[in-house]
Amino acid sequence: MTVTVIGATGVADFEVFRDAWGIPHLRAEDASSLAYAQGYVTAVDRAWQLETERHRLLGTSARPLGPDARAWDVFARQARLADTARRCYDALEGDTRAWVGAYVDGVNHGLRERGADAPEFARAGVAPGHWEPWTPLGVWLSTHVLFAGFPAKLWRDEVVRRLGADTVALFATDGPATSGSNGWLVDAARATGGGALIAGDPHRFIEDPGVYQQIRLACPEFDVVGLAVPGVPGIGHFGHAGPVAWAITNAMADYQDLYRERLRRTADGGVEAYGPDGWQAAHAHTEDGVEVVETERGVVVIGGPDHDGGEGISLRQPARVYEDLGFSALPGLLRARTVADVDRAFDRWAEPVNVVLAADTGGGLLHRVAGTVPVRDPENMLRVVPAWEERYAWQGRHEPLPRAGVEGVAVMANERSLAAPLGVEFAPPHRARRIRELLDERASWQAEDMSRVHTDTELASCKPLLELVARLDNLSPAAAGLRERLLNWDRRMVAGSVRAAAYARVRSRVVRRLAEHERFAPLAGLTPACPEVFRPWLALVPRIAFALEHLLADDLLPYEDRLAAVREAVEEGADDPDTTWGELHRLAPWQALPDPDTVWPALDGDHDCVLSTSSVPGLTDLSARGPAARYVWDLARRDDSRWIVPLGASGVSGSAHHRDQLPLWLRGELAPVVTDFDRLIEEPRPVTGALPATGVAYEETVEGLGTFRITRLDPAGADIDVLHAWVSEERARFWGMTGLGREDVREIYAHLDSLTTHHAWLVRLDGTPVALFQTYEPEADRVSECYEARDGDLGVHLLVGPAGKEGAVHGFTEALARVFISYGLDGLGRKRLVVEPDARNDKAIALLRRAGFEFSGEIVLPEIDLPDVKLAEKRARLGFYSR
Average pLDDT over residues 121-146: 94
Q: How confident is the model at residue 254 (pLDDT cuts 50, 70, 90)?
A: very high
In the predicted structure, residue 800 carries a pLDDT above the cut 50:
yes
What pLDDT sits at residue 624? 95
Q: Which pLDDT belongs to residue 792?
A: 79
Percent of the chain with pLDDT strictly greater than 70: 93
Backbone angles phi, psi at 122, to 5 degrees: -65, -40
Tell me the pLDDT tens digit for each residue of 408-452: 999 999 999 999 999 999 999 999 999 999 999 999 999 999 999
Q: Given a cut of 60, is residue 621 above it in pLDDT?
A: yes
Which of 136-145, 211-220, 644-653, 792-801 is least confident? 792-801
Domain with CATH 1.10.439.10 in the chain: 40-144
Domain 257-316 of CATH type 2.60.40: no
pLDDT of residue 882 exceeding 60: yes
Confidence of residue 750 (pLDDT cuts 50, 70, 90): confident
> Cα–Cα distance between 588 and 601 in angstroms, integer?
9
Domain with CATH 3.40.630.30 in the chain: 696-882
User: Per-residue DSSP letters for 569-636?
Assistant: HHHHHTTPPP--HHHH-BB--B-SS--TT--PPB----TTSSS--EEETTTEEEEEEEES-EEEEESS
Q: What digits encode the pLDDT tens for the residues 344-372?
A: 999 999 999 999 999 999 999 999 999 99
Round to whole Å and give the CA distance between 655 and 209: 12
Region 211-235: mean pLDDT is: 98
CATH 1.10.1400.10 domain range(s) in the chain: 460-626
Torsion angle, CA of 532/538/539/543, rounded to 10 degrees? 150
Q: pLDDT tier at 8 (50, 70, 90 boundaries)?
A: very low
Q: What is the CATH code for 460-626?
A: 1.10.1400.10
Kindly report, residue by residue over 518-561, the tens digit of the pLDDT: 999 999 988 777 899 999 999 999 999 999 999 999 999 999 99
pLDDT band at 873 (very low <50, low <70, confident <90, very high): low
Tell me which amino acid residue 155 is.
W
- Given a cut of 90, whether residue 718 has pLDDT beyond it is no
User: Which pLDDT band holds residue 12 (cuts at 50, 70, 90)?
Assistant: low
Task: Name the CA dihedral angle for 864, 867, 868, 872, rounded to a multiple of 10 degrees.
Answer: 10
Distance, in Å, from the CA atom of 355 to the CA atom of 373, rounded to the nearest integer, reads 13
What is the pLDDT, as a whole number, of residue 866?
Answer: 41
Looking at residue 656, its pLDDT comes to 93
Phi, psi values for residue 408, rounded to 5°: 85, -65
The verdict on domain 696-882 having CATH code 3.90.1150.10 is: no
Residue 815: pLDDT band by 50, 70, 90 thresholds? confident
Q: pLDDT value at position 447?
A: 97
H or E, element range at 845: helix 842-851
For residue 722, give the nearest of 768, 686, 789, 690 by alpha carbon. 768
- Report the pLDDT value the prediction gives residue 837, as an integer from 0 to 100: 85
- If one compares 742 and 148, the residue with the highest pLDDT of the two is 148
Which pLDDT score is estimated for 626?
A: 97
Residue 826 or residue 283, greater confidence: 283
Domain at 40-144, CATH from 1.10.530.10, 2.40.50.140, 2.30.110.10, 1.10.439.10: 1.10.439.10
Lowest-confidence pick of 378-392, 569-583, 619-633, 730-744? 730-744
* pLDDT range class, residue 807, cuts 50, 70, 90: very low
